[in-house]
Structure 1
Amino acid sequence: MAGLASEQSESEHGAVETETPRAKGPLIYRQSIWTRTTHWVWVVCLFFLLLSGFQIFNAHPILYIGQESGFEYDNRVLSILPIQREDGSFAGRTTIFGHSFDTSGVLGFSGTQEQPQFRAFPNWITIPSYQDLATGRVVHLFFGWILVGTMFVWFVASLINGHLRRDIVPKGADFKALPGEISAHARFRFHKRAGYNPLQKLSYAFILLVIFPLVVLTGLSMSPGMNAAWPWLIEIFGGRQTARTIHFGAMVVLVLFFIVHVLMVVLAGPINELRSMITGWYRTDPTSEEEKP
């Protein structure tokens, strides 16, 4: 009787609702071969530039503002140094604008008290792992010039195919839509559009058109050969030590961008995002009835 009543109830109220599979949006060709190739070359270059840059920084782990540095100057903005405590043990101390932090085990001092490593950045994160300034500079310059060449190729290709104008440079409508896009990201709602969203445009424009050129120009301004050829370049940045500090600061911005970038890829759907940067094809959201013509 119970089964009969159940069947009667279903016949009166209709079939039991079943969960329909979510519709997939169309695949579009989003990333050109130029965008994909330069993207992955940049990944390799920035990896070696970062780790060899740590090696170079370890040779003198202090940053200054101005043209000169030394014991008689009070122009330090950052230092990562080992210290010895009153009890004889070692520690790492990072000082930023006069504020000091204990960074033992990570920055300034790593290893054990019996086998200490007195390095700003530990050996596992530098290229080469041992202290070798000459090799670090060779690696840094090699990948630095590859980065410059790749930037030039990307810029010319992006001008020709319209990628720079269409996808990178923000427009007035992007700034108007920015608050809504920030709100959607805060709620982990990621819309898969054919084009970049306003946050992507602003961040990519900042990295590609501001930070990348800044890294290159400050790096060139620290070269004695460039100082002889373009003496005005070092003056633009207020001296060699200021240029070195800006160079380091731009590196920090790139690392933070990389962390956020990877996090967004994971949250937005890594398979779709990686497919876009490998094959060029990207799956967008299904078109809603309101959007259909």
Structure 2
Amino acid sequence: MSIASKETGSELPRKVTIRRHGVATRLSHWGWAVALFFLLFSGLQIFNAHPALYIGQQSGFAFDNAVLSIQAIRSEDGDVRGSTYLLGHRFDTTGVLGVSGSRERRAYSAFPAWATIPSYHDLATGRVVHFFFAWVFVGVYLSWLLASVINGHLRRDILPGAADLNALPKTVLEHLRFRFDHDGRYNSLQKLSYAAVLLVFFPLMILTGLTMSPGMDAAWPWLVDIFGGRQTARTIHFIVMALIVGFFAVHIVMVFAAGPLNEMRSMITGRYRVDGSHSDGGSGHE
């Protein structure tokens, strides 16, 4: 049944509430959110201890294999400036990277204090926080993966099919116009995005993190061979985290564009409001 609009006399679609997200999905979502928050900022604390990335197994003065470095350098006029080297190009990043803060309270570190946990230089604490939440992240991921295989969420809602690939151009165009069809199901763009993050980025984060551990290298030496060296694994680890941060930024924008109250309700209670015409096909997400 539809509701008539008083202004135009036209009928508005009836809204119904469906179950969109099961308990496993909701717990995993918030578990990842917490773990990734601490992993990101403690990871930047660790990066500040040696703010450079390399390709290969080794690094040092005898090797010219850096792809990124952030440092404070003294310019010709005697001023200390933040300098970022990326793939053969150097950029002045004073105030953001390398050198930050006011002139009275200069901070000479790759990432500023507000972007690290703890906010002061403390590599030992940063490593403890990072490793603790890394194992939390692994536990949540494995639990989600097992539950999603058992309840069909992975096959039904994450893995894209031929129909999703065919619908992708239209879905991208609709998103660029901020037009969203609230039927409670993941569209083709969401499926591809979630599949990339959950089945590519997350496993890469875990495996490259393990590759950087000397203990894991001794137990599983093939990890180093797979990634072409510990330094390459560290670089991939950093890049994947940057991609996840980018995904998170777009995700937040889409949540606000699609209706933040409805989206937040679905991820807290599992209930999602859809048009009545879609009520039969939009439920059952786990």
TM-score by length of 2: 0.93
Change (3 A) 1:19 1:85: farther
Residues 201-257 of structure 1: per-residue CA shift (max 9 Å, x gap): 000000000000000000000001101100111110000100000000000000000
SS of the equivalent of 1:86 reads coil
Q: Report if the CA contact (8 A) 1:89-1:113 is conserved.
A: no
Q: Provide Cα deviations, 1:31-87, integer angstroms capped at 9, x if missing partner.
A: 000000010010000000000000000000000000000111110100111111222
Name the % identity. Answer: 61
Structure 1: 5+ residue stretches without partners: 1-15
State how far apart, in whole Å, the 1-side matches of 2:105 and 2:267 are. Answer: 44
- Asked whether the equivalents of residues 170 and 198 of structure 1 are also in contact (C-alpha less than 8 Å), the reply is yes
**Aligned counterparts of 2:39 and 2:9: Cα–Cα separation in 1:** 50
Q: 2:147 aligns with which of 154, 157, 162?
A: 157
Q: Work out whether residues 28 and 281 of structure 1, in 8 Å CA contact, stay in contact via their aligned partners in 2.
A: yes
Equivalent residue, structure 2, for 1:72: 62
- Is structure 2 residue 265 aligned with structure 1 residue 270? no
Measure, in 2, the Cα distance between the counterparts of 1:191 and 1:122: 41
> Which aligned runs of 4 or more in structure 1 are off by greater than 6 angstroms?
none
Is residue 255 from structure 1 mapped to residue 249 from structure 2 by the alignment?
Answer: no
Letter in 2 for 1:240: R
Higher normalized contact order (CA 8 Å, seq sep 6+, divided by chain length): 2
Residues 149-228 of structure 1 mapped to structure 2, 5 A cutoff: 149-228=139-218
Matched residues, number: 274
> CA shift at 1:114, angstroms?
3.6
Question: Which deviates more from structure 2 when the two are superposed, residues 78-87 or residues 39-48?
Answer: 78-87
Output the CA distance in 1 between the equivalents of 2:8 and 2:166: 40
By how many angstroms is 1:285 displaced?
Answer: 2.6
Higher alpha-carbon Rg: 1
Partner residue of 1:148? 138
Quote the residue 1:136 is aligned against: 126
- Cα deviation, 1:171-229, whole Å, max 9, x if unaligned, reads 01000000110111111101112310000000000000000000000000000110110
Q: Distance in 2 between matches of 1:148 and 1:66?
A: 26
Deviation digits for residues 117-136 of structure 1 (CA, Å, limit 9, x no counterpart): 11000011100111111111
Over aligned residues, Cα RMSD in angstroms? 1.5
Amino acid at match of 1:55: Q
- Which residue of structure 2 aligns with residue 11 of structure 1? none
What secondary structure, in the 3-state scheme, does the structure 2 residue paired with 1:284 have? strand
